[in-house]
Chains A and B, each alone.
Chain A
Amino acid sequence: MAYITDYQYYENGGANPENENWGSYQYVTLQEIVNNFMLIYQGNNELLNNLNRYQVLFYAKRGIQELNYDAMKEIKILELEVGEDLRFIMPQDYVNWVRISLYQGGILYPMTENIQTNWAGAYLQDNNARILFDQDGNVLKPEYSTVTYDRIQGKKKSIYLNTDSPYHNSLGYFLDGAWFFDYNVGSRFGLNTETANVNPTFSINKQSGVINFDSTMSGRMAVLEYVSDGMESGNDAGVSVNKLFEDYLYAFIRYSLLNGRLGVQEYIVNRARKDKSSLLRNAKIRLSNIHPGRLLMNMRGQDKWIK
């Protein structure tokens, strides 16, 4: 970001929105990255010349996307109420989820991704289980599959230890101070820790662009933490990257361009590749904020008794 006065920073020079520039100094914009690269790294006496700006722009955006996926920790958070159809439409800039929580009673309860599916597609079939087609030869599909319909209707049972469990509220017997239940089919010995969670569950339907919840989520608030690719829905003016990654981005663009150029010696490409890798490592370490104060907080638990 360009250097601005304190008044512009705190109150946006009297314009709206007031918070426009808050925290902006952490970031360098896409335009600055491309301009700087064209100015410093390409030219008649540089390793790279005769570059088109769109090549630099392309690799700058690719670099920012890669950083957003794993290195930058730029988490976006969206809160939405889950309706009767028990689904949460992914945000427009969704790339991958980090955590999904139920917000209830002022507390966030992290949800578990269901290891089983809770949705399915379906084809219409006749009495002999033969698939039905329309006059154009396309298969006929119901609005909901049985799995999906049961889930929405609250009839689908869950293997998790929540209220959808088939054994929830079922009768048992009390012996020697412990409760025992009979299973309808088979037996289970001990607790399956993978499914031992009372919170609601979800399953992600990537192709349909929705997150499906179990029936206990109807009318409740879900909070989605997710990562995007940093492209700000195509608004180039809004794309920026933390300054800690600025040098890495230059190295990434330089390497990508050199790697794809004809006649560049392999040792130069290798130098650029190593440069890029080490700068990414440095930036990750810097961004991880490992410092004594934070370590101290964790180490205070070292004398805690484990029961």
Chain B
Amino acid sequence: MIDDVRNTVLAIANKNNYGYISPQDFNLYCQQAQMDLFEDYFYQYNSWITKQNQRVSGTGYADIVKSLEEVMDFFSQEVFLAQVGVANTYSLPSDYYLMNKLFYYPNSVAEGTNTFVAAFKLTDSTAAFSNLTNPTTPPIGSIIVNTTTNSQCYVTAIDNATTLSISANIMNLNDSYIIYTNTNISEVERVSQNKLFYLTSSPLTAPSNQFPAYVLGGNTVTIYPSTILSSTSIKAQYIRYPKPPKWTYSIISATEGTPVFNDTQPDYQDFELPLSDEPTLVAKICQYVGIEIRESDVVDFGTAQITNENQEEG
């Protein structure tokens, strides 16, 4: 999509043959436009829920809230948080935009080290995954956390006492792992700092393993009760920022120095918003480009496009 957007913007901006935009500038504008639209999704979501409650939004194809949720859920991530030292404090991922849920996994059934690498397998030569009395330990569906990389997957089958089939290739040689059952998982509730004292002081609301709580401070969360200290027992589900788009190119002699789009470059990154956002992205980038080339027509075009869109969607 990013090449289409660039071509469209260049076509609009180049009306008098002086509207060339360098790839570096274009990438900066793309990032600005994407972030702007990304944030707008959350405000739109809130606005459409209000409309839904006023019964001015329909169901089925008219369910705008649902389509907005689909876009936002694209940015949803799940990751086990890394513990800070040995305290009840855990680091948040660096790319989080909105921390949606934290979960506490209290029941670990096995831990160890991966001693052999095979596709979709976890092998621990010292493990006893199944035995006569407990042939289905760990239960299928249990979550495996690679505590070296903090990645995760699920148990899909128990091959034998030392090998499990797993849902993703996350285990490298000598990576540590821990397996949690998918029972008794508790949601960790966010509490504001000014309520924390009252919450922990009241016998009726004091955080427990069933009803844990956390407060956010800096780029870490502190979990209560403070007896929750396992290194990888807290899983976060969050909305991440979109990755900065990057229009990558090659210079070939045939084009006499003009950069030619090349999406095989390792740092290539397309827009992460849906294709339906292309006109809005173009309009927003046009606003920035118009300022750069001092062409008020381009700015006005971008502004008018966005205004029209807002009216249609409103």
In the complex, residue of chain A having the shortest beta-carbon distance to the beta carbon of B50: A44
B191 at the interface (CB under 8 A from A): yes
In the complex, residue of chain B having the shortest beta-carbon distance to the beta carbon of A14: B133
Chain B residues positioned under 8 Å from A57 (CB to CB): 204-205, 211
Within 8 A of A (CB), among B38-86: 49, 52-53
Chain A residues positioned under 8 Å from B203 (CB to CB): 231, 234
In the complex, residue of chain A having the shortest beta-carbon distance to the beta carbon of B46: A44
Within 8 A of A (CB), among B167-208: 186-187, 189, 191, 199, 202-206, 208
A31 at the interface (CB under 8 A from B): yes
Chain B residues positioned under 8 Å from A87 (CB to CB): none
Partner of A31, one of B53, B206, B210: B210
Partner of B211, one of A34, A44, A45: A34
Given A14-B133, A53-B189, CB of A236 within 8 Å of CB of B208:
yes
A53 touches B52 (CB 8 A): no
Chain B residues positioned under 8 Å from A231 (CB to CB): 203-204
In the complex, residue of chain A having the shortest beta-carbon distance to the beta carbon of B203: A234
A61 at the interface (CB under 8 A from B): yes
Chain A residues positioned under 8 Å from B213 (CB to CB): 54
CA distance A54 to B203 in the complex (A): 12
Q: How many A-B residue pairs have CB under 8 A?
A: 44
In the complex, residue of chain B having the shortest beta-carbon distance to the beta carbon of A2: B183
Most chain B C-beta atoms within 10 Å of own C-beta, residue among A14, A45, A53, A234: A53
B191 touches A52 (CB 8 A): yes
A61 touches B210 (CB 8 A): no
Chain B residues positioned under 8 Å from A30 (CB to CB): 210
In the complex, residue of chain A having the shortest beta-carbon distance to the beta carbon of B45: A44
Given A14-B133, A234-B203, CB of A54 within 8 Å of CB of B191:
yes
B31 at the interface (CB under 8 A from A): no
B209 at the interface (CB under 8 A from A): yes
Chain B residues positioned under 8 Å from A61 (CB to CB): 204
A237 at the interface (CB under 8 A from B): yes
Most chain B C-beta atoms within 10 Å of own C-beta, residue among A44, A54, A58: A54
Chain A residues positioned under 8 Å from B204 (CB to CB): 57-58, 61-62, 231
Chain B residues positioned under 8 Å from A44 (CB to CB): 49, 52-53
In the complex, residue of chain A having the shortest beta-carbon distance to the beta carbon of B205: A54
Within 8 A of B (CB), among A180-238: 231, 234-237
CA distance A93 to B308 in the complex (A): 67
CA distance A62 to B189 in the complex (A): 20
Least CB distance from B285 to A in Å reads 33
Residue positions of B touching A, CB distance < 8 A: 49, 52-53, 133, 186-187, 189, 191, 199, 202-206, 208-211, 213
Sample of 15 A–B contacts (CB below 8 Å): A31-B186, A31-B211, A45-B52, A45-B53, A53-B211, A54-B189, A54-B191, A54-B205, A54-B211, A57-B205, A231-B204, A234-B203, A234-B208, A235-B208, A237-B209
4 extra interface residue pairs, beta carbon distance < 8 Å, beyond A58-B202, A235-B208: A31-B186, A53-B189, A236-B211, A237-B210
The 5 closest A-B pairs by CB, nearest first: A236-B210, A236-B208, A53-B189, A44-B49, A54-B205
